[in-house]
Structure 1
Amino acid sequence: PISDEELVGKILRSLPKRFDIKVTAIEEAHDLSSLNLDELIGSLQTYEIGLNRRNEKKDKNLAFASKSGADEQIESEGEESLAESMAMLGRQFNKLMKKVDQRPKS
């Protein structure tokens, strides 16, 4: 019969690429010789459920992310306005610093 340690090793090696991060975490966090097969399977199932949920959210976000040309133009104008405001703030700050430097020192 194959020991749990051998089964754990075989399962970890046979997982698809999307589990690489989880496999590394398991190998670093657990002593594989004492890792129970049921614990491993439970951990992998939990990770897979999380992956599926993130993928579903990503798909929903992609549906909302598509913008019309008008939306992009408004956003671009907003960015330009922000850049102009930042430039004006910088100029005002420089003027203030010059005035502070010109004040007589006591």
Structure 2
Amino acid sequence: MGIGDKLSSFSNNVQEGVKSTTMTVLHISLRMITGFFVGMTLALIGQELIGYGTFALIFATIVVMAVIIKLLSQWSFAQILIFDLIVVLVGMLLRMYILVAP
């Protein structure tokens, strides 16, 4: 095994490591963004219904965000994106109901 083979093997290992790290960071980021938006939405709904303060709003957002992140930890990118699509569609349905309701 010559120096060229060792250098080629090293560069392949670096490429695989960068690819793996990038995919992990993207997966964590997608879960956090999804959790934040779902948490903030549910916390704002709770704040309007119950009328709690800012601290409770932040607490509810963080709790729901943590639950969503834990729930989505085993899901793939495609499953998380489908979940996001369903959540957006349900949100649009609720918005339409609010606008139409007397």
Say which one has the larger Rg: 1
TM-score, L = length of structure 1? 0.44
